[in-house]
Amino acid sequence: MSDIVVLAYRKQEAALAAGVAMARLQAEAGVSLEDIVVVTRDEADSVNVNHLIDRSSGRTLAGGEWGMVIGMLFLANDAKHAKGGSLAARFLEAGVEAKFLDEVTRSLEKGGAAVGLRRRFLDLAQIEARLKSLPGNGKLIRTRLSPETEERLMDLQDQIPPEVLAHVQADG
The whole domain housing 149 covers 2-171
Measure CA 172 to chain center: 14
Tens digits of residue pLDDT in 106-152: 898 888 999 998 888 777 888 888 888 888 888 999 999 999 999 99
Give the chain's end-to-end CA distance (angstroms, integer). Answer: 27
Please answer whether residues 13 and 30 qualify as being in contact, where contact means their C-beta atoms are separated by less than 8 angstroms: no
User: What is the pTM assigned to this prediction?
Assistant: 0.82
Coil, helix or strand at residue 37:
strand
Mean pLDDT score of the chain? 80
Q: How many domains does the chain have?
A: 1
Compute the distance between CA of residue 52 and CA of residue 29 in angstroms, rounded to an integer: 18
Compute the distance between CA of residue 104 and CA of residue 92 in angstroms, rounded to an integer: 13
